[in-house]
Amino acid sequence: MARKYGICGNVSEKSGATLFGIPEGTSARACADMAGVTDVTAVALLMKRDKFEGKVGQTCVIEFLDDEDKSKLVLFGLGNKEGASLKTWKKCLAAAYKAVLKEKESVVRVGLPLTEWDLNESDLQKIAQSVTQLAGRIDYRFDRHKTVSRHEYRGIDELLVLQPETMRSSVFSKLIKPYVDKGDYLARAVNAVRDMVNEPASHMSAATVVREAEMVIKAAENPALTMRCYGKQQLIDMNMGAFLGVNKGSTTEPVLIQVDYNPRNAKKGVHLFLVGKTVIFDTGGHNMKLSGNMDKMKIDMAGGAAMLHTMYVIARLGLPVRVTALLPATDNMIGPDAMMPGDVLTSMCGKKIEITNTDAEGRLCLIDAITHAIAQGATHIVDMATLTGAMIMACGHTAAGIFGNDNEFINTLIDASKVAGEQLHHFPLEEFEEMRPAHKSEISDLVNSAGGGGGHIKAAFFISEFVGNTKWVHLDIAGVAYSPKPTEFDPKGATGFGVTTLVELAEAMST
C-alpha cells in the first residue's frame, strides 16, 4: 500500500474529499459554517436529498460544481453526545469512508470531533489512531491477479488528519500525530498479512517468506530489527526432526526465519518470542484432506505472516522491549519421501513423536521452534497458528482460542485483545485435565494426533509438553484468519488477525 498520509492545517484544497462529523440535529447553517461554505440553501437541499440528520451511519456528499473548486465535502453523522465512544466513532467514520470509496475519491481529509464530543486526551488519541487504521482496514482489495484492475480506481491514496483550529501545532504533533502514525503502521501490517494469506500457494514458498521478511526489515527503518535464517542443513544440525518431518514430501527446502528486535532501551529480564505457524500449503500429507477441506489451505501461514508484520509495527513504534519472531516455513506435501503414518520423528528436545496423522503438521513445526526459543532464553512465548478444524467448530469465525500455562500472562493477552478489538475465547486447560494424557503413544513418547473431540484443546496440551516452565500462550486462529463473508469493517478473505493484539501485548510488556 503506497498510501501517503499526514496532517494538514486547513480545508481550502481544491480537490479530494473533506470529512466532517456532524452531531444529530445540527442545522444546515451550522454545517455550512463549520465546513466554511457560504451557500447555506444548497447545503440544506443536499441534506434533505440524503435525509441527513446527523445520525450514526448517515452521510451527505456535498459537491462543488465550480470550475475551480473540485473538492467534495462528506458530512457524516455523529449521533448524540451520550453515544460518543470509540466504537460509535468507528461506525460513523466507516460510513464516511464507504461514501468516499463510492465517490471514487483518492485524497481524503478527516476532521476530528474535538468540539462536537467531550473527549479526554486518551479518547482523542484512540480516535486519531482509528482514522488511519480504519481506512486501511476498509479500503483493502486483493486484485493483483485481475488483469484489468490496473486502470481502475485504486482507493484512498492520500489521507490527511485535519489539525483542529483550536489546537496548537506543537500540541497536535505531540499528542495526536504519534497515534495517526500508529494507526497507519497497523493498517499497513494488517494489509500486508492479508496479501500474504490471500496469495495462492503456487506463488509462494519458504523462500518468498524470507524475501517478505527482508522487506519488513527494510521498511521498518530501525537498526534494532535484524533477521537470520536457518536453512535445511542447519535444521538438520540442530536436530529439528519434527519440523523437518513435515518438509519431507516437499520439493522446496524448509527455512526457519528468525526476526530479532533488540533495542538498546529494552526492558531488562523480558524476552518475548512469537512463534507463528508458517505452512505455505497444507495438503494433509498422506492423510490427505478431502477436496472440500483443502481449498482454503493456502491460509495455513496466517500465524507466521501476522507475527512477521507485527515485528514491523513494534520496530516502527520503537517499543522498549525485546521481541523475537520465529517462522518455521514449509509446505505439507505428498511425495515419495513424505512422512508416513506410523513414522516416528525425533524432535529437537529429544522427545519422540509417533505420526498418527500427517495432517497434524502445524504442531510439529511449532514445537521445534519453541524448543529453539527456550534455548535462546525466552521468558515469554506466544505461538499462533491455524491449527485445528475443531477450533472453527467451537468458535466459528468470531473468536480465536486462547490456551496457556500462566493465568497472569493469559490475562495480559486478553486485555491486549480488548484494546485491539480482536476477540479471544479462553479455554482453561485446568478444566480439561482429562485430555492431557490423550497424546500418550504405545511405541514412543507422544502421538501427534489424539483423535476424538476437542481437537483444539488437545492440540494445546500437545504443545504444552514442549514449553516446560516458560510462560506460554497458544492462539488457535483457524477460524478467524479468514472470513468467508464481508463483515462490518472488513472485506471477505484474509483478516490479518493477531497483529493488533500482539502489538498491544508488546506495548503492555514494555512498561
Contact residues toward Zn ion (CB under 5 A) are 279, 282, 300, 362
- 263 sits near ligand BES (criterion: CB under 6 A): no
CA distances from 149 to 145, 152, 155, 244 (A): 9, 5, 12, 40
- 359 sits near ligand BES (criterion: CB under 6 A): yes
CB of 136 to ligand BES, least distance (A): 24
CB of 487 to ligand BES, least distance (A): 18
Q: What are phi and psi of 388, to 5 degrees?
A: -140, 145
CA distances from 34 to 38, 51, 233, 506 (A): 10, 19, 66, 40
Q: Is the CB of 225 or the CB of 478 nearer to Mn ion?
A: 478
Chain center to CA of 30: 40
CB of 279 to Zn ion, least distance (A): 5
- 397 sits near ligand BES (criterion: CB under 6 A): no
CA 510/CA 322 separation, integer angstroms = 8
- 212 sits near Mn ion (criterion: CB under 5 A): no
Q: Which of 55, 182, 277, 363 is catalytic?
A: 363
- 449 sits near ligand BES (criterion: CB under 6 A): yes
Residue 296 binds which entry of Zn ion, ligand BES, Mn ion, none, CB below 5-8 Å type-dependent:
ligand BES
CB of 291 to ligand BES, least distance (A): 13
With 0-12 CB in 10 A as exposed, 13-18 as middle and 19+ as buried, what is 182?
buried
- 359 sits near Mn ion (criterion: CB under 5 A): yes
- 105 sits near Mn ion (criterion: CB under 5 A): no
Pick one of 196, 360, 416, 438: the residue that binds ligand BES (CB under 6 A).
Answer: 360
Number of residues that bind Mn ion (CB under 5 A): 3
Three-state SS sequence of 298-322: HHCCHHHHHHHHHHHHHHHHCCCCE
CB of 292 to Mn ion, least distance (A): 14
CA distances from 211 to 1, 217, 254, 273 (A): 17, 10, 14, 21
With 0-12 CB in 10 A as exposed, 13-18 as middle and 19+ as buried, what is 42?
middle
Q: Is the CB of 190 or the CB of 366 nearer to ligand BES?
A: 366
CB of 280 to Mn ion, least distance (A): 12
Concerning whether 268 is annotated as a catalytic residue, the answer is no
Concerning whether 98 is annotated as a catalytic residue, the answer is no
Pick one of 94, 255, 478, 506: the residue that binds ligand BES (CB under 6 A).
Answer: 478
Phi-psi region of 377 (alpha: psi -120 to 50; beta: other; left: phi over 0): left
Instruction: Name the helix (H) or strand (E) containing 243.
Output: helix 241-247
- 504 sits near Mn ion (criterion: CB under 5 A): no
Q: Is the CB of 220 or the CB of 478 nearer to ligand BES?
A: 478
CB 305 within 8 A of CB 259: no
- 357 sits near ligand BES (criterion: CB under 6 A): yes
Determine the angle formed by the axes of helices 121-138 and 86-102, rounding to 10 degrees. 30
- 282 sits near Mn ion (criterion: CB under 5 A): yes
Q: The C-alpha cell of 275 is what? A: 512463534
Amino acid identity at 212: E
Which residue stretch of 80-88, 89-97, 178-186, 383-391 sits at the interface with ligand BES (rule: CB under 6 A)? Answer: 383-391
Provide the annotated active-site residues: 289, 363
Residues that bind ligand BES (CB under 6 A): 282, 296, 300, 357, 359-362, 386-390, 392, 449, 455, 478
User: In the complex, which residues of this chain contact Mn ion (CB under 5 A)?
Assistant: 282, 359, 361
